[in-house]
Copies of this chain bind each other. A is one copy, B any other.
Amino acid sequence: MLNYPTGKPGKTGEQTLIRNPNLSKSRLGTSFEQALNESNQYYLQHNIAIIHKKPTPVQVVKVDFPSRNKARIVEAYYKIPSTTDYNGIYRGQYIDFEAKSCNAPSFPFSHLFRHQIEHLRNVAKMGGIAFLLIEFINKQEVYLLAIDKLICCYEESLSGGRKSIPYAYFKEHGILIKPAYAPRIPYLEAVDQAFFPK
């Protein structure tokens, strides 16, 4: 979840407003999400992978039926996602990841929910491919960070260590994804490198 589905978030700080770390800095990631969706579309059309973004979870409270051919939701609230944003199948395997945008010098853990990290860890335990995709907006760089590399830092943060992952850590332990024409973010090449070493 990188942005509101409308692309029109409120003007004041989203993080406070809806108590959802996933929506903080939401404006930053719009084009990243768009580029990822286009990449997934490319992978699908070329029979390379089936990976979709999950819909943003919404708790519907009230629905009106203004006319016979319309159901209009008139009261609803954003919910905390129970898992990650993207999942699917690649090279016959289950693939699952969260995508986030941030600015250097570091990626703050507050952009992720604890249960999302647990989810990715469980996926890896079950034999799935689990990772983060992080866009450093000011660097114009995207990194894949496998879940095991994330867990190290995360556990340190829980026991009093730093609450973010420095950019240098991504440079050392992540895989840089170079933007391309099609797919725009060829992240499955990085997946090959990280999870299917030759």
Which B residues are CB-close (under 8 A) to A180? none
- Residue pair B58, A89 in contact (C-beta under 8 Å): no
Tell whether A60 is near chain B: CB-to-CB under 8 Å: yes
Q: How far is the CA of A78 from the CA of B63 in the complex (A)?
A: 10
Q: How far is the CA of A77 from the CA of B48 in the complex (A)?
A: 32
**Chain B residue at smallest Cβ distance from A57:** B55
Give chain A interface residues in 51-75, CB to chain B under 8 Å: 52, 54-63, 65, 68-75
- Residue pair A122, B61 in contact (C-beta under 8 Å): no
Give chain A interface residues in 1-54, CB to chain B under 8 Å: 4-6, 8-10, 12, 14, 16-19, 44, 47, 49-50, 52, 54
Question: Interface-forming stretch among A123-131, A154-162, A182-190?
Answer: A123-131
- Residue pair B6, A63 in contact (C-beta under 8 Å): yes
Question: A5-B59, A60-B6 are known contacts. Are A50 and B17 too (CB-CB below 8 A)?
Answer: no
- Residue pair A16, B68 in contact (C-beta under 8 Å): yes
- Residue pair B61, A58 in contact (C-beta under 8 Å): no
Tell whether A111 is near chain B: CB-to-CB under 8 Å: no
**Chain B residue at smallest Cβ distance from A55:** B57
**Of B17, B63, B96, the contact of A10 (CB 8 Å cutoff):** B63
- Residue pair B76, A73 in contact (C-beta under 8 Å): yes
Tell whether A119 is near chain B: CB-to-CB under 8 Å: yes
**Of B52, B62, B69, B79, the contact of A83 (CB 8 Å cutoff):** B52
**Of B18, B52, B128, the contact of A89 (CB 8 Å cutoff):** B128
Q: How far is the CA of A96 from the CA of B95 in the complex (A)?
A: 13
Question: A10-B65, A65-B12, A122-B50 are known contacts. Are A73 and B92 too (CB-CB below 8 A)?
Answer: no
